[in-house]
Structure 1
Amino acid sequence: MSMSGAPGARERLVVIGGDAAGMSAASQARRLKGPDELEVVAFERGHFASYSACGIPYWVGGEVDDRDRLIARTPEEHRARGIDLRMRTEVTEIDVAGRRVRARDLGSGAESWTPYDKLVIATGARPVRPELAGADAAGVHGVQTLDDGQALLDTLARTRGRRAVVIGAGYIGVEMAEALIGRGYEVTVVNRGKEPMSTLDPDMGCLVREAMAGLGITMVNDAEVTEVRTDDAGRVRAVVTEDAEYPADVVVLGIGVRPETSLARAAGLPVGEHGGLLTDRAMRVRGHEDIWAGGDCVEVLDLVSGQSRHVALGTHANKHGQVIGTNAGGGYATFPGVVGTAVSKVCDLEIARTGLREKDARRVGLKFVTATIESTSRAGYYPDASPMTVKMLAERRTGRLLGVQIVGREGAGKRVDIAAVALTAGMTADQMTALDLGYAPPFSPVWDPVLVAARKAAREVREAD
């Protein structure tokens, strides 16, 4: 039944959030149902829609020279396709019982209610800000949206000093450290972990630390930030740990992100232990027939551990949007889950992982063996063959692949996709050794590094019994 209550009347789909998941959902629903059947209204509080947040470090670092290159589709292009996209408009309340949302125009301050028949929540994630004195000071930046990236660039343009401190050494922290080095800053990364890139096991993270040191980045591990100090004007001047003080003209938060679910929580919608909205396989919010959610604000099923987790990646967000738009548009689609694949780089060092780390496997009660091998990206005799380290986790007794981590130079990172497919298929390490992968000396040794690791892992499984 539509808002008018009349059978066959036009329905309204309301979308909260104008980036990957939200606009993919809006576009897919529009493809399936025309304007006479479905009205699509989308709200975005920022200045930009349908952009690549993953590209922000490369824009800040200068590899991408124009912000607009990160924008996949402009608001005008969405409107031309029949989507009523309202920019700089923030949804402030979801009235589930009344099937409506309240939104505020950030320019005029005017507020209004918009009824919906179907609702999509794609509110994304927000950078983690430590609960410290000075964490909200001028010159301290999270980097999650294009607006955040522009704000950071504006700060860099008007800051005379050249000292930057990055708090956190995950994907965002490592990529932003490299971006700031590229802009001529003296960069210190303060990390609470034993090694950078906590998405890797520490024995692989140390390879990343060595590469960062080679770029001239000062890496401070096992350090807890206790305060962000400011000057008399309220601008950041230093980051303080229990043991030291690091002068800073700009601070970037690279601690990670949390699902932005404050609206959903206030509306009484279900959230999980990681703070993300809980959905079924059709991306429908549990217990709510006409409300869907996707992107960085939801939790997803980890196909390896069998548990839910929060993974903030544009690849998943776009898939969620396709599923949601198909279902909201009258079709049928599901999102089965993830295996936790991610890839990044520090200068020419490529970093990739999929599946479980050692501590993940222990947490869910899995017993496992590990195998770590050194190989090369090409046949050893072929020019420019570069070293590569591959670590593999396999379950004891069954030999089921549990996870793979790869650190190396050119040609290393995307090899993780082999493992991602094997994880999705539930393959064992022994089964992987028979995979018919492409071979020629310019592309790999006769035995691809992933297969070498699989052979060693299969042997460890046999010997563990």
Structure 2
Amino acid sequence: MSERVVIIGGDAAGMAAASQARRLKSAGELEIVVFERGHFTSYSACGIPYWVGGDVDGPDALIARTPAEHRARDIDLRLRTEVVEIDVAGRRVRFHGLGTGLEGWIGYDKLVIATGATPIRPVLPGIDADAVHGVQTLDDGQSLIDTLESIPGRRAVVVGAGYIGVEMAEALINRGFQVTMINRGAEPMSTLDPDMGALIRKALQGMGVQVIGDTELTAVRTDAKGRVIAVVTADAEYPADIVILGIGVRPATDLARAAGLPLGESGGLLTDLAMRVRGHENIWAGGDCVEVLDLVSGSERHIPLGTHANKHGQIIGSGVGGDYAVFPGVVGTAVSKVCDLEVARTGLREHDARVAGLQFVAVTIESTSRSGYFPGAAPMTVKMLAERRTGRLLGVQIVGREGAGKRIDIAAVALTARLTVDEIVALDLGYAPPFSPVWDPVQVAARKAVTAVRRDATAGNRPQ
């Protein structure tokens, strides 16, 4: 008799799990049922700002595998169907058809929770107006584009200055909108230290974005017909025809919470290395709804990224299919761009290191993407954190022009391998004038960090 696996969520983690499980077991051995509340599967949510801005076509171009392709592999994929309850003791879930109203229960032998994350939408006056948009799914992207093409005004306000916020600001500039960005922090991109975030603010201002820091949204003003006309903060009001929320996301774990499954401090599901939900041998979870181990700080964190979700799905699919694989953790690597400015980070910020109780040195250097004399050489700023005494690398942030962003991968590998800054200096990296200075900028920062660590150690040995 075949087993049945039920998967809640049909994007990166869910469909990667379904596909991997199907590779390992035939339909006669394993029945796979996937519930997805949206219209699409296996898509790149990261590409939505570039679709909105006109850099890529969509939504079809953002879909890696269509529902028809999944169904052709004997995966019972049910679109526009939402799971509304998990009965752990009874090994069943209750579903609701969003278009049909059809409801029912279906049993499972194995359950995969891949419900993703939900955009944070604060409870404020006017927040539910039609022209206030979150950006998380392809359905969200299509709804936003429909609004952009239908409203008569050209004034946009982006609330939040994280990755989504800055990417959406650029997309709206590309569409000819006047853009104001409201951010609760002093500088954009709180995943960077403020001194590096200041470089992003200058780039946004250079694009024509009005950046308002140290402020929070308190209301969205609408007219008598419910149309957005302005956003309100504690001390000002900014005209707006459309509002984009980029405040962040939270794990979509209401179902899991109601079912009594274990959650971490951020509300994400807690799993073991094989992505099994802790204490439940027949339930797995992955993607933006889980917390993962930070290999640098040793803490559990919610880091919603498509790279992680796809890996989680592969590991879950292996487990569901009778094989074995593990997800050891992350170092927190991310890369983005603002116009032609590339932004990358991995590991810990200064704040993170302090929270983790680590003592560290921090250095910042200026370099170029190529040898200075070679055409096209562009400036690059690299910030590096290293642990005092040991010199262990703790984090790197890079802001620069073309050729800067993917250099973060050097640091990501070094963090995973727990290299010291001395060992990074000694790495045998590739060199030719079109690609790098003789000393790669990451190694230049490492050299400066080595000096800081040694100077700090010397100072610590002096008589007090």
TM over 0.5: yes
Shift of 1:135: 1.3
The residue number in structure 1 matching 2:109 is: 117
Alpha-carbon displacement from aligned partner over 1:344-370 (angstroms, at most 9, x marks no partner): 000000000000000000001000001
Please name the residue that 2:461 is paired with.
none
Letter in 2 for 1:190: I
- What do the CA deviations read for 1:197-246 (whole angstroms, capped 9, x no partner)? 10000000000001001100000011121111111122221111111101
Any stretches of 5+ residues in structure 1 without a counterpart? 1-8
Q: Shift of the alpha carbon at 1:15?
A: 0.3
Deviations 1:51-83 (CA, angstroms, capped at 9, x unpaired): 000000000000012310000000000000110
Q: Which residue does the alignment assign to 2:262?
A: 270
1:356-367 to structure 2, matched below 5 A, reads: 356-367=348-359
Counterpart secondary structure, 1:296? coil
1:62-461 aligned within 5 A: 62-461=54-453
Query: In 2, Cα distance between the equivalents of 1:236 and 1:29?
Result: 47
Q: Post-superposition, which runs of at least 4 consecutive aligned residues in structure 1 deviate over 4 A?
A: none
CA distance in 2, matches of 1:190, 1:423: 33
Secondary structure class of the residue paired with 1:213: helix
**Hey, what's the Cα distance between the residues in 2 that align with 1:65 and 1:188?**
26
| Letter of the structure 1 residue corresponding to residue 284 of structure 2 | W
Separation of aligned partners in 2, 1:233 and 1:112: 39
User: Number of aligned pairs?
Assistant: 457
Report SS of the residue matched to 2:443: helix
Deviations 1:127-175, CA, capped at 9 Å, x for gaps: 0112211111110000000000011011111100000000000000000
Q: What residue is the counterpart of 2:460 in the other structure? A: none
Q: For 1:101, what is the secondary structure of its paired residue? A: strand
Moved more, 372-381 or 229-238: 229-238
- Mean Cα displacement is larger for which, 439-448 or 123-132? 123-132
Which structure 2 segments of 5+ residues have no match? 458-464
Query: Within 1, Cα distance between the matches of 2:119 and 2:65?
Result: 24
1:37 pairs with 2:26: no
Q: Displacement, 1:341?
A: 0.2
Mapped partners of 2:278, 2:257: distance in 1: 13
Secondary structure of the residue that 1:148 maps to in structure 2?
Answer: helix
Q: Secondary structure at the match of 1:223?
A: coil
2:176 maps to amino acid: G
For residues 102-127 of structure 1, what are the alpha-carbon distances to aligned partners after superposition, in whole Å with 9 as ceiling and x for unaligned? 11111110101111000000000010
Question: What is the identity, as a one-letter code, of the residue corresponding to 1:26?
Answer: A
Task: Report the 3-state secondary structure (helix = DSSP H, G, I; strand = E; otherwise coil) of the residue aligned with 2:265.
Answer: coil
Cα distance in structure 1, aligned partners of 2:332 and 2:58: 30
- Mapped partners of 1:66, 1:13: distance in 2: 31
SS of the counterpart of 2:202?
helix
Identity of aligned residues (%): 76
CA distance in 1, matches of 2:144, 2:98: 21
Residues of 1 paired with 2:8 and 2:270: CA distance?
17
* CA–CA distance in structure 1, aligned partners of residues 226 and 266 of structure 2: 33
1:23 lines up with 2:12 in the alignment = no
Structure 1 length normalisation: TM-score? 0.98
Render the CA deviation track for 1:3-29: whole Å, top value 9, x for unaligned: xxxxxx100010000000000000000
RMSD: 0.6
Give the SS at the match of 2:288: helix
Structure 2 partner of 1:57 = 49
Distance 1:230 1:321 in 2: 42
Write the distance in 2 (CA, Å) between the matches of 1:371 and 1:290: 47
